[in-house]
Structures are given as C-alpha cells and as structure tokens.
Amino acid sequence: MDVVKITPRGYCYGVVDAMTMARQVAKDSNVPRPIYVLGQIVHNRHAVDELESLGIKTLDGGRRDELLDQVPEGATVIFTAHGISPHVKEKARQRRLNFFDATCPDVTKTHTLIQEKIQQGYSIIYIGSKGHPEPEGAMGEAPEGRVALVSTIDDVRELPFDGSTPLAIVTQTTLSQWDTESLIAAVQERYPLAEVHNEICLATQLRQEAAVKAASDVDMVVVVGDRRSNNSNRLVEVVKKVAGKPAVRVEQVEDLNPVWFQSIDRVAVTAGSSTPTQVTREVIRWLEEYCPTERN
C-alpha cells in the first residue's frame, strides 16, 4: 500500500509554544507547587499524559471559571492555547494565584478584534463549537447580551438581535472554511449588513487545504487526532465533504483496523494540530508495514 504523508500536518506553532511554556514552568523550581492546567493544554491525551509525567495536573470537565475554583490558594495555573476569558483571568488575580498564559497569538488576535468591535458599538455573532473552550474565552470579551454563539443553522433563527444592531460575525480559529460558509450565509440572510471576520487560523487552513488536495489522489485518508480535537474532526469532515473520499480518525496506532485497508491501494495520512509527532509517526509506520498479502 502506498502511504502519502500530507504536509503540513500535526503540531502548529500555537501548540508548540504552549507545550514549551508548560515544560519550562515544570522545570522552574521557583514556580510555586502544585501546578495545574485549566483544561487540557491541547486536546490530546498523549500531550496531557506528558505534562502529568512532569508533575502538572490537568483540571478538566467543566467551564474554565468552575475549574479555577479547584485550584488551591498559592498554587500555579497555566491557561491553555485556546484562550481565556478576562473574567477568569481577573478571578485568578483576585485569588492571588500564580498564572501563566499559553493562549495562541492567533486566538489573542480574535480577542482583540472582539474588544475593538464592542468598543465601536457592535454586538458579536460568534460562529464556533458549543462546549469548546475557545468560544468560552473569546465570547467572554463581550458583555452579556452583546454576544451570541452560532453552531448550527437552527441557532441563526434564535439570534436575539434586531435589524438595527451593528453586528460583527467572528469565527472560531479551528473551524473549516467550507462549514462556516453556509453558517455565515444564513446569518447574512437574516442580517444583510453584518460584517464578516473570518478568524480561521493559517495553520488550520493550510492543514485542511493540504488534506483536500491529497485526498483527490488516494483511496482513503487517515487523520490522527484526539476525539475532542476540533481541528482533527474538521479534517475528517473536509476530506469527506469537499474531496468526497473516505476518511477515518484514529487517536493512536492501536485504533487502526486492518479490515479498513483491504481494498485500499493508496492512503494519505494527516494529523490535527494538537497531535504529537511521535503518535503520527507510529501510525505511518504501521501503514507502511501493512502487508497486502494479509488482505485475505
């Protein structure tokens, strides 16, 4: 079986920086212990396990402000690459916690945009995934009543703004341009004067475009990424919807099922921007060693 390694794939600059910051914090003996990460540093179990082995505990399974309540007085907390709401940062200051902010510069750019638009009198329609930490942080830049989340076409019907409100549409960084197109069109149909700010980051865009391009020349695409990784799930989606080719997501080499490849001659591999290189390398090696004679 031919194995095409799609580039770019895997860790993006925001994730590399967040992991580097966390490793440095763990090494620094002057940093007060215990050290926590508010949510998964990036949505990947292997990355979380690595930090755990360095003595950094991950607090997970809730909104950031709720998780912060679990951090004891005097401890250290790291904010993840997904960004953090100013309200949670302020709460950390008030509680005199030591904090490090690993927010990706591309997410900070979206926060700044929302702040500016709010100051100019706009309300924000944020297109993003429900329950994901990035919308939680970014939407926290706007006062209540001046921001609404849109994840589906049904959400557009529920938007509370009247026609005279100046509106800015802002997208989450890890969505796909193909998905957001239909949601933006639905919002603009209801609010024709709404301004559009496409905030999908370059790393996400390049990985998606490369996956779609490579998919046209193979029988199937394997995406390596965690089930909670928004950008990994989007990679599967764009291959299926835009390129019309089969795609599967696996978290690690153990998830590969030989049955999937019985009639496949050429497979392409990519990885979400939160997937460690080593995990993807193991998947590629397995595929390269997959023996066609085992197909029957």
Task: Please report, as ranges, the residues that interact with ligand SF4 according to CB under 6 A.
Answer: 12-15, 81, 104, 106-107, 173-174, 201, 203-204, 231, 273
CB atoms within 10 A of CB 19: 21
Q: How far apart are CA 166 and CA 118, in angstroms?
A: 10
The residue number with the shortest CB distance to ligand SF4 is 14
Q: How far is the CB of 141 from ligand SF4 (least distance, A)?
A: 16
Q: How far apart are CA 294 and CA 296, in angstroms?
A: 6
Q: Quick one: 3 or 15, whose CB is closer to ligand SF4?
A: 15
At 35 the three-state DSSP class reads: strand
Q: How far is the CB of 103 from ligand SF4 (least distance, A)?
A: 9
Q: Quick one: 16 or 253, whose CB is closer to ligand SF4?
A: 16
Give the relative orientation of helices 45-53 and 13-27 as an angle to the nearest 10 degrees.
20
**Cis amide linkage into residue 258, ω under 30° from 0:** no
Q: How far is the CB of 161 from ligand SF4 (least distance, A)?
A: 27
Q: Quick one: 106 or 136, whose CB is closer to ligand SF4?
A: 106
Q: How far is the CB of 15 from ligand SF4 (least distance, A)?
A: 5
At 148 the three-state DSSP class reads: strand
Which positions are catalytic? 134
Q: How far is the CB of 273 from ligand SF4 (least distance, A)?
A: 4
Q: How far apart are CA 102 and CA 105, in angstroms?
A: 9
Give start and end residues of each alpha helix (H) in the chain: 13-27, 45-53, 64-68, 86-94, 105-119, 133-139, 153-157, 177-190, 202-215, 230-241, 277-289
Residue that the structure tokens 């309540």 belong to? 69
Q: Quick one: 149 or 201, whose CB is closer to ligand SF4?
A: 201
Q: Quick one: 104 or 250, whose CB is closer to ligand SF4?
A: 104
